[in-house]
Amino acid sequence: MEDAIAHCHFDVIRLLLLHQASLGDRDKVSIAQALCAAATVGHTHLLKAYKLAGASLDSQDPTGRTPLHMVRHYQVFRGFIYLCL
């Protein structure tokens, strides 16, 4: 699942979900950190891949920031639009 997410293979993610795959043993903090990192650079495809795999886009990193905090702070317009729609 993680490789499919990292490479934004949406069809593979859907197929894995059909066969009961999940984000596995990844803890919520590491997922939140990955989401925040993707949001910081406006990588909306990666955000979409995580969302499709079942990750919450409201996840908080260890400092309590969410992806929305990151796009606002770094003024990443594309990420802001994706997270707000």
- Give me the tens of pLDDT residue by residue for the chain, a chain 85 residues long: 999 999 999 999 999 999 999 987 788 899 999 999 999 999 999 999 999 999 999 999 999 999 999 999 999 998 988 898 8
Fold of 2-84: 1.25.40
Q: How far apart are CA 12 and CA 39, in angstroms?
A: 22
**CB under 8 A, 24+ apart: contacts of 69-78:** 69/36, 70/36, 70/39, 70/40, 71/39, 71/40, 71/42, 74/40, 76/39, 76/40, 76/41, 76/42, 77/42, 78/42, 78/44
For the chain, the domains span 2-84
Q: Enter the pTM of the model.
A: 0.91
